[in-house]
Homo-oligomer: A and B are copies of this chain.
Amino acid sequence: MPARIDAQQRRQHVVEAAFRLVVAQGLEGMSLRKVAAEAGLNIGSVRHYFDDHHDLVAAAVRETGDRMGRRLARHTPETLVGLQGEAAVDALQALVEEVLPVDDARCAETTVLLEFMVAARTKPVFRPVTEQMAADLHQLVADALDALGVADVHGEADRLTALIGGLTIDTVTPHGSLGVDRLRATLRAHLRAVLPPVLEG
């Protein structure tokens, strides 16, 4: 048998090239030829690891969902139980910032995610990441708010997830761009307003 190559790792490499192109050119950067060039491979090689263009897209969608899932899995709501005041705000802020564009890596990931979400409206291939993200994030946020003693967990989870989406689009997209500092400040102000006041005595 010949040419020992880890197929899984190859696919990963190609998918990462696809991500770079989506960030740079939007969804239409994810063509087989462009992705192959970006990955330093020949079109035929890419097609050897991905049956279809659809298959490549599906892999990218799956990877995006997995990454966000991994980001969210790093935080468990149980660790928040009992926290009050600024400690509670800090903990929840750290949790939420995990999926906000606060550095280059997260900025790239949220950019790709936003492109996929908007595309999901008309192209079913992109649905999985959209649905998984929404469900996971909403669940985690709801659990976190519950652990921190927030009253209207459902309503506040809706509000916080909406705020997260809005902050993301305002930062990633070029409308004068919020900027990381104002993003953080806005989130912090919201968390302070939502979390219950410290118990006296």
Contacts and interface: CB of A to CB of B under 8 A. Distances in A.
Given A166-B163, A174-B130, A122 B186 contact: no
Interface string A169-201: 110111110100010011001100100000000
Contacts of A121: 26, 111, 172-174
Interface stretch (A6-14, A46-54, A71-79, A154-162): A154-162
Interface in A117-173: 117-123, 127, 130-131, 133-135, 152, 155, 158-159, 161-170, 172-173
A114 interface: yes
Contacts of A162: 163, 166-167, 170, 178, 186
B174 A123 contact: no
A25 B121 CA distance: 9
Contacts of A193: 193
A117 B26 contact: no
